[in-house]
Structure 1
Amino acid sequence: MMPRIFLTLALLLALAPPVAAQEIKPFISGSIKEITEARQGKPFILSMWSLTCTHCREELSLLSGMVKKYPNLDLVLIATDTPEESEAIALTLGQSGLDHAQAWVFADPFAERLRFEIDRKWHGELPRTYLYDPTHAITAISGKLDRQRLEQWMNPYFGRS
């Protein structure tokens, strides 16, 4: 009887439709304008990261905790990897609990152009986080985020639910 149950379960799993992967949008020239214009008058966090960045994984974990604590947090994640790595990016975000955040990946072979559009002072160091207040005044942070500092910035806008 047990082998029959396992065989039935295996067959059901094999025939089940695949779970939709997170959409990873191509980040090209003009994408930062699209992101900010869609959020006019609203605060949000823009986080730059990469699959090859060790500290970025820690930051994704921190941001995942913030999304759970502040469900109204608007988080935009931009991977500085390539579109060919979209599957690995989606997997990493899913494992981090960030599969519902808006996600982008650099899709221009000239990454410097994209970095310049985001921030003329940014030279590619990761992780890099931008805190946009409702007027879109920006606080840029290079390196690992400090949880306390992040929560101090978030509380007035997202409050604790």
Structure 2
Amino acid sequence: MMRRLLLVMLLVFAGNVFAADNLRPFVAGSMAQIQEEHAGKPFLMFLWSLTCTYCPTELEMLGKFKQQHPELNLVLIATDTPDEKSEIVAHLAGYKLDKVEDSWVFAEDMPERLRFEIDRRWYGEVPRTYFYDQAHERIVKTGLVGEEFVKKWFTLVNTESVK
């Protein structure tokens, strides 16, 4: 009985460590890396925080949308700190977003530099969503976006990629 309990605890711990490994440190140069990894492909980039009042609504919607459309290139960036890694991973798991490979967390002492790298006009308000097309032209939305807009954008960029 004790062995089983120990094995279960070990598996749970190992699962949490693996999930936490999906969270990448967002540092200077990470934005260029994201764009390079998605070269020629549309992607949706969502910036959020554990302390954001409206972020759970968008995370829930994105989690459902990603399940319905696994081909969606989704980039999640938590504007919190690496010290909050376990809370971030648990939060994402609650919305079935913990398996998103493109999950990041701000990992520099000066978040202003990271915000500037993402968008010179952004001062840190979240939720903030960037919709990149194949040419990486982007539409920026602050606040709640909603599923209807995401569906329209997703349909549009997928129609363009067929042309």
TM-score calculated relative to the size of structure 1:
0.88
Alignment of 1:43-58 (within 5 A): 43-58=42-57
What residue identity is the alignment partner of 1:36?
Q
Provide the aligned length of Structure 1 versus Structure 2: 154
Gaps of at least 5 residues in structure 1 are none
Alignment of 1:30-41 (within 5 A): 30-41=29-40
In 1, Cα distance between the equivalents of 2:36 and 2:152?
Answer: 25
State the 1:146 CA deviation. 2.1
Does the 8 A contact of 1:70 with 1:158 survive in 2? no
Q: Which has the larger share of helix?
A: 2
Verify: 1:89 aligned to 2:101, yes or no: no
Verify: 1:145 aligned to 2:145, yes or no: yes
What residue identity is the alignment partner of 1:18?
A
Identity %: 42
- How well do the aligned residues superpose, as a CA RMSD in angstroms? 1.7
State the 1:122 CA deviation. 0.7
State the 1:11 CA deviation. 4.8
Residue 63 of structure 2 corresponds to 64
**C-alpha distance 12-112 of structure 1, shift in aligned 2 (>3 A):** closer
Gaps of at least 5 residues in structure 2 are none
Query: Deviation per CA, 1:80-131, whole angstroms, max 9, x where unpaired?
Result: 0001001111111111100121110001111111001100111111000000
In 2, Cα distance between the equivalents of 1:88 and 1:10?
Answer: 24
The alignment partner of 1:21 has SS state of: helix
What residue identity is the alignment partner of 1:129?
T
Query: Deviation per CA, 1:38-77, whole angstroms, max 9, x where unpaired?
Result: 1111000000000011211111001001101111001010
Alignment of 1:1-161 (within 5 A): 10-16=5-11, 18-19=14-15, 20-22=18-20, 23-101=22-100, 102-158=102-158
Larger Rg: 1
TM-score calculated relative to the size of structure 2:
0.87
